[in-house]
Chains A and B, each alone.
Chain A
């Protein structure tokens, strides 16, 4: 499979008081179209990824909203799969190109979260969980804290391993002017920070963020460039309690296997990756379930520095969800933009040398939906 990424766009991620969802979509979409150098009239469909805007503001119908904002009158869709919405939108856009229905499409991932209270946000995000989880009063910090505790018990993962993920991602974000938190943090500060759900502290959790990302994808794949060569989705139970294991995302394993197979590469060929660190434990699980290291070794793997810029396998050079920010519907698209830019050699101080094969992993809920993409130049 081969789909060309011909344009990328990304807004600043952060508390963007002055920007509405419409401003953000327009900004990212316009930047991607400009970057693609094709006329916007050639874009035949717009795939919009967004999770909670309808709940927070009562504005649904975002496919049409964003497409018409950009002056595009072809097909339009809104795609939702919790925090995996972005990855799913990319996957579905690819299907439309592979089917031959369209030749050039735009994917816009966007989320506007700061116009709601934190109570409203926590409640809205729990739409990604199960009815039983909502009734039990669980929120995502608590669900991931359960997974962290299980992992610490079974494999000896420590709080310092979790902290290492946060420190690394903040270091990467300090090199990314679009990141929400472009500054480093010390281990002391993290270990001393407020507990949100034991053992997770404030610095183990991704923030509330506004932002948008966009890519123009094309089935006209001749010439040089960056291509998506693998795109796979896998599903598991929404209810964490119904999973086979608390310490493994089976959907990550499955999606990764399928995507790598499609691309004809192995996990050891991956030079750079963006994974879904909604909480630090999630990055540790991702290292294991994607196959970068053995099950149980994720904490020690990160602590060794292998996944820091300069190491053998830089992960989350954007700063990840933790430090770049996590505007839910935009994250999956941002991951594609970051890896595409790595493969294009555009990232200056956070460029990974000779990056020619990359991977993105986007997770919905506690692992009910996982989307993996392989990119090659």
Chain B
């Protein structure tokens, strides 16, 4: 069976609190963190981007999995912040990782589910026997319009998953998707910042697709929420995944280990993937994990994953766990955010 052979996460060190951002814009700061359920978010430095973040996460995955990069036959990077509109991030990352030249590469975009889309797509290469290992990455230095509410939570991080048929530490039992033409969040070409539909991003967008994919997934594998040990959802804030989990019958204790958003914010394409990495960092053999991402525009990718006996020995090799990276932090003020805007938009 095809599954995860190794994985890696990268969370930039700098942190800023929503209340600091509110203060920078002269807004009421006291209620913001409580209402979002987000206490601080990870901020990439001005010399980081979706490419460098992808490299960091991938190097963690290669090292923990003791995998020779030349054995990776396909690479896909999902992001909403690819540094180039035309010029793939995936070949730059592959070059830095020394993957050689015998590989398939593609860049993906589908808002916050571009990373999980890569997992579904590249698993086909393995099942077709076209590649021994494939590398699917979700990476973002998430963009938001300065002073928009999105700024409180849009953060930066990346996660890399190497899939294969042997030395699998977690099997991908099955996956499915739910998609529709629902424009809740978008950025027109040449626009600097994304726009969103306010409250429209809730019920008709996040919930319709997350619940749609999740319900279809559970039906497909003939399982119930209570059959799982963990559940991970896309985390634009703390409220939405908690509500989705509740509606599907998952308990707070199933959700808690993967709920990273209060500490790192929403790193778009990496969100649910970091949640999954966080669970895999300490899961026991034969643990069942339910994952459902969400990407605006819109769609959700759902997965049923089960760890194998190899997970315990793998965990001993992981140097940079998600928990460790969450703890390794340094607080900054809004000046770095401002500098990042000037750098990114070449103002």
Contacts and interface: CB of A to CB of B under 8 A. Distances in A.
A118 B198 contact: yes
Contacts of A23: none
A306 interface: no
Contacts of A194: 28, 31, 35
A92 interface: no
A80 interface: no
Interchain residue pairs A-B with the least CB separation, the first 5: A17-B204, A194-B31, A117-B198, A118-B198, A15-B199
A195 B28 contact: yes
Contacts of A20: none
Contact of A114 (B28, B35, B199): B199
Nearest to A208: B199
Nearest to B204: A17
Interface of B: 28, 31, 35, 197-200, 203-204
Contacts of A15: 199, 203
A17 B198 contact: no
Contact of B203 (A17, A118, A195): A17
B229 to A, nearest CB: 34
B200 A114 contact: yes
A253 to B, nearest CB: 37
Contacts of B35: 194
Contacts of B199: 15, 114
Contact of A17 (B28, B31, B200): B200
Contacts of B28: 194-195
A117 B196 CA distance: 9
A6 B199 CA distance: 38
Nearest to B196: A117
Interface string A4-15: 000000000001
B308 to A, nearest CB: 43
8 contacts: A15-B203, A17-B200, A17-B203, A114-B199, A114-B200, A118-B198, A194-B28, A194-B35
Contacts of B200: 17, 114
Interface string A334-364: 0000000000000000000000000000000
A118 B28 CA distance: 17
Contacts of A118: 198
A118 B197 CA distance: 10
Given A15-B199, A17-B200, A118-B198, 7 more contacts: A15-B203, A17-B203, A114-B200, A117-B197, A194-B31, A194-B35, A195-B28
A117 B201 CA distance: 12
B137 to A, nearest CB: 34
B66 to A, nearest CB: 50
A327 B200 CA distance: 17
- Most A CB atoms within 10 A — which of B28, B198, B200, B204? B198
B207 to A, nearest CB: 11
Interface in A3-55: 15, 17
Nearest to B197: A117
A194 B28 CA distance: 9
A236 to B, nearest CB: 33
A15 B200 CA distance: 9
Interface string A168-210: 0000000000000000000000000011000000000000000
Nearest to B31: A194
B182 to A, nearest CB: 10
A118 B149 CA distance: 12
A17 B28 CA distance: 29
Contacts of B198: 117-118
A114 B201 CA distance: 12
A287 to B, nearest CB: 31
A17 B199 CA distance: 10
Contacts of B204: 17
B140 to A, nearest CB: 24
A117 B31 CA distance: 21
A118 B204 CA distance: 18
A194 B29 CA distance: 11
Contacts of A17: 200, 203-204
A114 B203 CA distance: 13
Contacts of B31: 194
Contacts of B197: 117
A195 B30 CA distance: 11
Nearest to B208: A17
Interface in A81-115: 114
A117 B149 CA distance: 13
Interface string A117-150: 1100000000000000000000000000000000
B18 to A, nearest CB: 14
Contacts of A195: 28
